[in-house]
Amino acid sequence: MVTDTMGVRIYFKQSKVELLPDLHQNAERLDSFITELNKIQSDPRYHFRSVNIMGGASPEGTIRFNNWLSRQRADRITEYIHEHAAHPLNEDQITYEYPGVDWEGLKRYVMDDPDVPDREQVLYIIDHPGDGDDRVARLKKLNWSIPWLYLYKKYYPPLRASQVQIIFDRVFRLDSIKKEIRRFNIATPVNLPKLHLKPRPMLPFYAALKTNMLYDAALIPNVGIDVYMGNNWSVTVNWEYAWWKSDAVHWYWRVYGGDIEMRKWFGKKALEKPLTGHHIGPYFQLVTYDFELGHTGYQGRRWTKAAGVAYGYSLPIKNRLNLDFTLGLGYHWGEFYEYKPIDTHYVWQKTHRRKAITPTKIEVSLVWLIGHLNSNDPEERRYGE
């Protein structure tokens, strides 16, 4: 007798444990497995030993969650086998393995793919779990998350799977063995397979266009851009410009200026995808203005400046839309003139010089996510656009 195995892989959606027949031909795979199991159990040429189920997961969540995911997926497959096998299986005929994250499977993919960005560093991280097994976090921080996103898109979907194997013996009978001589003609041409060159993957790009809806409501058109720089850092530049006036009724509503801000993203959502979740960082503002609504007017003819620290949270609301809430506290300094409109003249009243620590930045911004893989939909990030 010779011990042999036969197995299939059953695939699952991200963070899910339900058996989905339409996912990656799961129905055909399960049918094939049950057919082979029934044949091996009933055919005298085979001696059935056991079924081994190894629940797997991709390296995305916490260790505890991935271990739970591994067990639950194995349990769903066990239930399916019990329901569809022609011959009942005893408890001792089914064995289990719960590796949690399939790091070995990921390592095989990386070793077989020379196009993996920072391949040697990725392999080093896979082979060295570190304290508390922080491999997931280290992969996400490596080189602006480019290797992580390459692996996420290309290799994490096939790692969201469980391996099911039938372990059996082949029973050979002497009267059934037939010898066969195969001839080899050296003149026979050899058909070599065509070489298919894989295109290099498009690198991910993360940016966002936004408008502060509070300014929009105040009739101050504005636009901002946020560009992800890597390692959970981004740079934001905002600009506003309003130039409304009516000399006939002494109505002035004029302002222009902008700010630049460095943002450090943190928290669970920030680890899942750039430009999402909590952020904090320094900012610097410049603005000039002239406000007068028929009575006293205030004019900041020279630049008024502010510098401080802003905290905010960017909340996903659609695949490529976020709502960003930001509040900044900073040091504000500059001078402005107080004046009154009298007939056709504007008469200076006072010059004010202001220096204070105060809130100088408030945003409720509608954010449009742009760039390759810059989507709140995990399926879109997985397969690209």
| 94-153 pLDDT per residue, tens | 888 877 788 888 898 999 988 888 888 989 888 888 766 778 888 888 887 888 888 888
- pLDDT surpassing 60 at residue 182: no
Q: How confident is the model at residue 73 (pLDDT cuts 50, 70, 90)?
A: confident
99-108, 200-209, 278-287: lowest mean pLDDT where?
Answer: 200-209
pTM above 0.75, yes or no: no
Residues 6+ apart with CB under 8 A from 320: 368, 369, 370, 374, 375, 376
> Stretch 38-55: mean pLDDT, rounded?
86
Label residues 235-265 b or e (16+ Cβ within 10 Å = b): ebebebebeeeeeeebebbbbbbbbebbbeb
Q: State the pLDDT at residue 244.
A: 87
310-341 pLDDT, tens digit each: 999 999 999 899 999 999 999 999 998 888 88
Which domains are seen in the chain, by residue range? Answer: 2-170 (3.30.1330.60), 207-375 (2.40.160)
Asked whether the CA dihedral 42, 43, 44, 49 is positive or negative, the reply is negative
Higher pLDDT, 124 or 260: 260
Asked whether the CA dihedral 107, 111, 115, 119 is positive or negative, the reply is positive
> Stretch 215-221: mean pLDDT, rounded?
94
CA atoms within 13 A on the CB side of 144: 11
> Stretch 293-302: mean pLDDT, rounded?
83
* Straight-line distance from the first to the last Cα atom of the chain, in angstroms, rounded to the nearest whole number: 52
Higher pLDDT, 93 or 190: 93
Class of residue 141 by CB neighbours under 10 A (exposed 0-12, middle 13-18, buried 19+):
middle
Q: State the pLDDT at residue 258.
A: 95
Q: How confident is the model at residue 176 (pLDDT cuts 50, 70, 90)?
A: low
CA atoms within 13 A on the CB side of 58: 24
- pLDDT surpassing 90 at residue 91: no
The closest alpha carbon to 273, from 160, 369, 143, belongs to 369
Q: How confident is the model at residue 294 (pLDDT cuts 50, 70, 90)?
A: confident
Q: Is 121 helix (H, G, I), strand (E, B) or coil?
A: helix
53-66 pLDDT, tens digit each: 887 788 877 778 87
Q: State the pLDDT at residue 277.
A: 93
- pLDDT surpassing 60 at residue 384: no
Amino acid at 293: L
Q: State the pLDDT at residue 139.
A: 86
Q: State the pLDDT at residue 317.
A: 94
Give the pairing of strands 233-246 and 297-318: unpaired
> Stretch 223-238: mean pLDDT, rounded?
93
Q: State the pLDDT at residue 237.
A: 97
List 146's β-bridge partners, or say none: none
* Mean pLDDT, all residues of the chain: 84
Q: State the pLDDT at residue 195.
A: 46
Higher pLDDT, 183 or 336: 336
CB atoms within 10 A of CB 200: 8
CA dist 214 and 123 (Å) reads 48
Q: Are 256 and 243 in contact (CB under 8 A)?
A: yes
CA dist 60 and 15 (Å) reads 9
